[in-house]
Amino acid sequence: MKKLLASTCLVFGLIGGASVSNAAECGSVTIASMNWQSAEVLSNLDKIILNEGYGCSAEITIGDTVPTITSMAEKGQPDIAPEAWIDLLPDVVKKGTEEGRIVQVGSPLPDGGVQGWWIPKYLADAHPDIKTIGDALKHPELFPDPEDSSKGAVFNGPQGWGGTVVTTQLYNAFGAEKAGFTLVDTGSAAGLDGSIAKAYERKQGWLGYYWAPTALLGKYEMVKLEAGVPNDAAEWKRCITVADCPDPKPSAWPVDTIVTLVAKPFSEKVGPEVMDYLNKRSWSNDTVSKLMAWMTDNQASGEEGAKHFLEENEDVWTKWVSPEAAEKIKAAL
């Protein structure tokens, strides 16, 4: 009996020692949670997986694109920015990478950040010939202005949004007014969302600005129209993003690059399993939009959304982690 107890203690001692070793190898981790829904749920997902699967001691810090990326590039903190929109700070990211303070370890959203003009899927299905902005502008009767049904409408975002400036300039560039369309100022994010919800409830036409991933596109199926022309980076910078530019030319929206940024010191101290997870961990815009819609409908926090995803999508996230980590995470749920 004494031998059995001794053996049992030895086994548990080895297991406990391995757990302590894993925790020590990973150590404390700071994860930046940006102030939008997809980034919030992703940071909580990373926290759960790193803590439960890899023995880390991860904590979430409040972040935002400019201060977080700048801090990582200059100071090497926080350790992880799960959803970094790096096109907003290309020079800062380039300098931080070249100076060895940050590394890019894969894209959580390989579809990229997608903006543009959208129409409801039921309308796209009923009119398969409408694939581009130009196609839609040939049919003002399908997208009636709520104030004047004799005209079509392009719904815009509120003042102050970059997307609102761009939509106004593209409205001019594509000759939408001459095609019989008015540009509708929805006044707020809620007003823009409400215009889509109202159209969907009535199965009416709708044409306007939106972006992905978002909770609303997880709830309402929308189809993004092609511009019919390539993105012109020079024109985009010269005029389309400039509110008072008088002569915009047609251009496609660029797709925003989204990556996971990791502080170089952290990447060097953790085991390869952690970095492998951060490289593999990605989901489609459609997947995260549907998750965000669930969170919105259930008034769920980022942590609750992350747990819901882990419980409902085992076939997805188990491909990101080692078999050993997967078993630990399942047990923790």
**pLDDT of 166-223, one tens digit each?**
999 999 999 999 999 999 999 999 999 999 999 999 999 999 999 999 999 999 999 9
Count CB neighbours of 314 within 10 A: 14
Tell which wins on pLDDT, 3 or 61.
61
Domains along the sequence of the chain with CATH: 18-111+257-332 (3.40.190.10), 114-240 (3.40.190.100)
Model pLDDT for residues 263-311, shown as the tens digit of each residue: 999 999 998 999 999 999 999 999 999 999 999 999 999 999 999 999 9
Residue 36, classified by CB atoms within 10 Å of its CB into exposed (0-12), middle (13-18) or buried (19+), is middle
Task: Please state, for a pLDDT cut of 70, what percent of the chain lies above it.
Answer: 93
In the numeric block, the tokens 């894993």 are attached to 22
Average confidence score pLDDT of the chain: 92
Quote the pTM value. Answer: 0.84
Dihedral (Cα; 287, 225, 126, 178), 10-degree rounding? 150
CA distance 188 to 88: 23
Q: Can you tell me the distance from the alpha carbon of 145 to that of 182, in angstroms, rounded to the nearest whole number? A: 7
> In the prediction, which pLDDT does 256 show?
92
pLDDT band at 96 (very low <50, low <70, confident <90, very high): very high
Containing H/E element for 134? helix 133-137
